[in-house]
Amino acid sequence: MGATRRTRLNLLLAALAVFAVAAVAVPRSAAPLPAVAGALPCTNGTTFNLRATTGRISTPDGGSVFMWGFAKNPGAFQMPGPILCVTQGSTVTVNLQNDLSEPVSIVFPGQTAVSSSGGSAGLLAQEAAASGGSVSYTFLASEPGTYLYESGTSPHKQVQMGLYGALVVRPTMGASYAYNDAATQFDPAREYLLLMHDMDPDLHRAVERNEPYDITTKHDRYWTINGRSFPDTIAADGVAYLPSQPYGALVRVRPSTGSTLPALIRMANAGMSNHPFHPHGNHVRVIAQDGRLLGAGASLSYEQFTQTSGSGQTFDLLFRWTNVENWSTTHPIPVTLPQMRNLVFKDKVTWYSGSPYLGKKVKLPAGVVSFNRCGEYYYPWHSHALNEFQNFDEGFGGLATLLRVDPPLGQGTPPSCPGP
């Protein structure tokens, strides 16, 4: 596939073969910065109007995949569906308009007593009729946590096609807590969603062409986090070149000090396979599964360096980067770029070509002053089912993102990197 599959990101990801990514070429002004740490890009409210519709997502190899998705109504197609954020105790109403050519429904795993109005009875949930039908769902968001919402109609097809999204229920204790427990406090400026999916583009093409959809032939070729495949996952929320994939997945932290609150990572798997997600840098602390805290005070929480997320599961992870390397801008972590002979190339065009620019060797462009201009530090976070760490047979890609560790405030070059 290789030669025709080009990345749009001028990024050096040379050292992914080892633990740390040493350097990312950053044009001073040309490209947008990676996602700035900030609040989760929530769609807040208690009543949400969604529309099931078609669209395309872009893949980093220059291709695109036909999708079905939940869009805001009114609103354009997006993947995944909007991140619905509500407060515990709210009565939530989701109004679905179905612009697809077959009935669609939504199920809300983890919610109880979901009632519906309109539409007609389906096997798993009330359905909105094809081509303009509608249905409404109402439930009490009784328990905080991270949840999925997804199609309940022919889910082997419709979830695969992209009809899924995340629902965040914030506890009554406050938006800087994951649950009603002091042990779940996090830095609200460092709250992230990693919503995983796996796709066989042949099935999507069959749907697009109105050909038979044969799930027994499913063979995944693309894997996404928040609807994007790596390296698009590390681009900022809402970048112009990913118009239908608004959510980035770059996790940003600063070195933890005694008083630093952890980041909260809401991980969810809408795919059809179990994904062993492997963070580097530090273990993650798993404090909740499927919207339920693991013991009072997270007493049953545990640390993992690979957290397998089963299909339909969610996990809430607290993360601190504890800087055991004692890193600072005056004490940089020595990262040796790998020797070429230690790198594995599948062909002439795979990722690292010996330059920051993929596929061909060129000088750094004007304006690029540093590979990591804030002195920041990167780790790959990725599926350790390593076949998922690629885009249609080209690595690295797929179900992966980066952890970006920014220098402590006041350090770095320039000394004030953006973000909290």
Partner 1 sequence: MRASPRKTIRRASILLALALLAASIPALVQSGAGATGPAIQATPAVSGVADAETIDLCADEGTIDLPGLADVPIWGFSLDPGTGCGPATLPGPMLSVDAGDVVTVNLQNNLDEDVSIVFPGQDLAPNAVVVPAAGSGSYTFTASDPGTFLYESGTNTSVQVAMGLYGALVVRPLTAGRAYDDPAAEYDVEQVLVLSEIDPNLNSYPDPNDFDFVGDPDVYTDGYHPTYFLINGEAYPDTNPIAAASGDLVLLRYANAGLSHHTMTLLGQHQRVIAKDAYPSVANAYDAVAETVPAGSTLDTIVTLAGVAGGSTLPLYNRQLDVTNDGAYPGGMLTFLTVS
First to last CA, the chain: 41
Residue 223 or 351: the one with the smaller Cβ distance to partner 1 is 223
Residue of 156, 280, 283, 384 that binds partner 1 (CB under 8 A):
156
Shortest distance (Å) from residue 162 CB to partner 1: 14
Angle at 147 between CA 252 and CA 382, to 5 degrees: 40
Shortest distance (Å) from residue 212 CB to partner 1: 9
Residue 297 or 420: the one with the smaller Cβ distance to partner 1 is 297
Residue of 49, 59, 154, 229 that binds partner 1 (CB under 8 A):
154
DSSP single-letter state for residue 167: E
**Residue 95 contacts by C-beta under 8 Å, 6 or more apart in sequence?**
47, 48, 49, 50, 73, 134, 135, 136
Q: Where are the alpha helices (DSSP H) in 311-355?
A: none
Shortest distance (Å) from residue 218 CB to partner 1: 9
**Range 118-137, binding partner 1 (CB under 8 A):** 123-124
Q: Does 7 bind partner 1 (CB under 8 A)?
A: no
What residues does 47 pair with on adjacent strands? 93
Q: What's the one-letter identity of residue 112?
A: T
Residue of 105, 289, 350, 353 that binds partner 1 (CB under 8 A):
289
Residue 279 or 312: the one with the smaller Cβ distance to partner 1 is 312
Q: Does 310 bind partner 1 (CB under 8 A)?
A: yes
**Range 329-388, binding partner 1 (CB under 8 A):** none
Residue 67 or 358: the one with the smaller Cβ distance to partner 1 is 67
Q: Does 284 bind partner 1 (CB under 8 A)?
A: no
**Range 59-118, binding partner 1 (CB under 8 A):** 107-114
Residue 152 or 356: the one with the smaller Cβ distance to partner 1 is 152
State the CB neighbour count (10 A cutoff) for residue 337. Answer: 16
Q: Does 160 bind partner 1 (CB under 8 A)?
A: yes
DSSP single-letter state for residue 333: P
Q: Pick the stretch among 67-75, 226-234, 235-243, 308-316 that binds partner 1 (CB under 8 A).
A: 308-316
Shortest distance (Å) from residue 395 CB to partner 1: 20
Query: Distance between alpha carbon 138 and the CA centroid of its chain, in Å?
Result: 27
Pairing mode, if any, of strands 133-140 and 191-199? unpaired
Shortest distance (Å) from residue 56 CB to partner 1: 23
CA torsion angle 410 236 278 328 (round to 10): -10
Phi-psi region of 281 (alpha: psi -120 to 50; beta: other; left: phi over 0): left
Q: Does 13 bind partner 1 (CB under 8 A)?
A: no
Residue 290 or 325: the one with the smaller Cβ distance to partner 1 is 290
Tell which residue, 409, 384, 273, has the closest CA to residue 329.
409
Look at residue 230 and give its three-state secondary structure.
strand
* E strand map for 305-412: 307-309, 314-319, 377-383, 400-405
Residue 168 or 368: the one with the smaller Cβ distance to partner 1 is 168
The pair phi, psi for residue 179, each rounded to 5°, is -140, 175
Q: Does 313 bind partner 1 (CB under 8 A)?
A: yes
Distance CA 41, CA 39 (A): 6
State the CB neighbour count (10 A cutoff) for residue 240. Answer: 7
Shortest distance (Å) from residue 273 CB to partner 1: 7
Residue 150 or 232: the one with the smaller Cβ distance to partner 1 is 150
Q: Does 273 bind partner 1 (CB under 8 A)?
A: yes
Look at residue 208 and give its three-state secondary structure.
helix
Task: Provide the mask over 231-270, with x wherever binding to partner 1 is found by CB under 8 A and - wherever it is not.
Answer: ----------------------------------------
Binding site for partner 1 (CB under 8 A): 107-114, 123-124, 147, 152, 154-157, 159-160, 214-217, 219, 272-274, 289-292, 294-295, 300, 308, 310-314
